[in-house]
A and B are shown apart, each in its own frame.
Chain A
C-alpha cells in the first residue's frame, strides 16, 4: 500500500513561511527625528556633556549616558564618509543596480547615517564628496526616511579629509 504513487507525484518540498507581526515604536527621540522628516527636516539632538550631535538621536548619549534634550536642526547637505557601489542583485531589491550606498555626515552632525546617492555615475563617487538630500514632494512627506528620495552631489568642492576622518 505504501508504494502507491500519487497522481501528483511525491511531495518533495514544504513551504514553511516564518512570519512575525509586531508593533514597533521608535520611542520619543526617534519619533522627533521621524516627525522632522515629515516636515522635510533633519532633526538631531546634542549631548549636553560632550556636545556631540546625533542624528537620528536615540535619546541618550552613548558616551556619557545622559539624556540628549537639546534638539538641533541640521542642514540639508553633508559629506560622504564611506560608500559602497552595489552591483549584485538580491531578493527584494527595489533599486536598479548599480547604485551607490553611502554613509553621509550631515553638516552639524557627529554621526553619519546611510543614504542612497543618485544623479552621478557610480565610478565618480568618492570619499569627501559633498551631497544634498532630495526630498519627495511636500504632499508625499511621511515620518520615514522614505521621505528622502536620495542624496546627490551639491556642487561644492570635496570636504577636507580632516573634517570627517573621525567618522569613518
Chain B
C-alpha cells in the first residue's frame, strides 16, 4: 500500500467544562471584570494574590479581601520568542511572576515588551486591562502587564 493511501484526518477533542468559582476566586474574577485586583488576607496578615480559598499556612478561611495593584514588580520572568496559539499574546512576550503593590505573593501573567533586553527582575510594570465591555470575569480580562512609563 502506497504511503499516499494511508489516511490522515484532523481530530478535535473538546470538553466544554464550566467550573464553579467559589466565593474567593469568584470575588477575584469579579474584581478583574471591574478592572481591579483583589487579594486575600492570610492569618499572618500577608496579602495573597491571586487569593487562595484557604490560608496556605493554617488551612483556615482567609480574611478580608483587599485591593492591590495595578502596578507591581517583576520577580522573575522568561522570554517567549515563539508564542503558541493558546498564549495570551501572539507576539513575543515574557511570562512573569509579578508581585503587585500591596501584595506579598506573585501572580503569573504575560508582560508585553519590545524584547528581552527591555526586561529585568525588579522592573516596574502595570496592568493593562481589556476594555470594560470585553471583560467577562477571567484572567484573560487582563490583556498583559506593560513596563511602567515605558514602551510596550
Contact = CB atoms under 8 A, between A and B. Distances in A.
Interface in A1-55: 1-2, 4, 6, 8, 10-28, 30-32, 34-35
B27 interface: yes
Contact of B10 (A19, A21, A143): A21
A14 B138 contact: yes
B122 interface: no
Contacts of B44: none
B27 A10 contact: yes
State the majority secondary structure of interface residues on B: mixed
A11 B9 contact: no
A24 B26 CA distance: 38
A31 B3 CA distance: 10
Interface of A: 1-2, 4, 6, 8, 10-28, 30-32, 34-35, 143
Interface stretch (B64-72, B88-96, B106-114, B123-131): B64-72
Most-contacted residue by chain A among B16, B30, B33 (CB, 10 A): B30
Contacts of A21: 10-12
Nearest to A8: B33
A21 B17 CA distance: 17
B26 A11 contact: yes
Contacts of B151: none
Interface of B: 1, 5-21, 25-27, 29-31, 33-34, 38, 64-67, 137-138
Contacts, number: 96
B10 A23 contact: yes
Given A12-B26, A17-B15, A17-B16, A31 B21 contact: no
Contacts of B67: 1-2
Contacts of A32: 1, 5
A131 B14 CA distance: 34
Nearest to B13: A20
A11 B26 CA distance: 5
Contacts of B25: 14
Given A31-B1, A32-B1, A23 B11 contact: yes
B26 A10 contact: yes
B11 A2 contact: no
B17 A17 contact: yes
A35 B137 CA distance: 48
A20 B12 contact: yes
A28 to B, nearest CB: 5
Given A12-B21, A22-B13, A23-B8, 15 more contacts: A2-B64, A2-B66, A8-B33, A12-B20, A13-B20, A14-B137, A14-B138, A18-B13, A19-B12, A19-B14, A21-B11, A24-B8, A25-B7, A31-B1, A34-B7
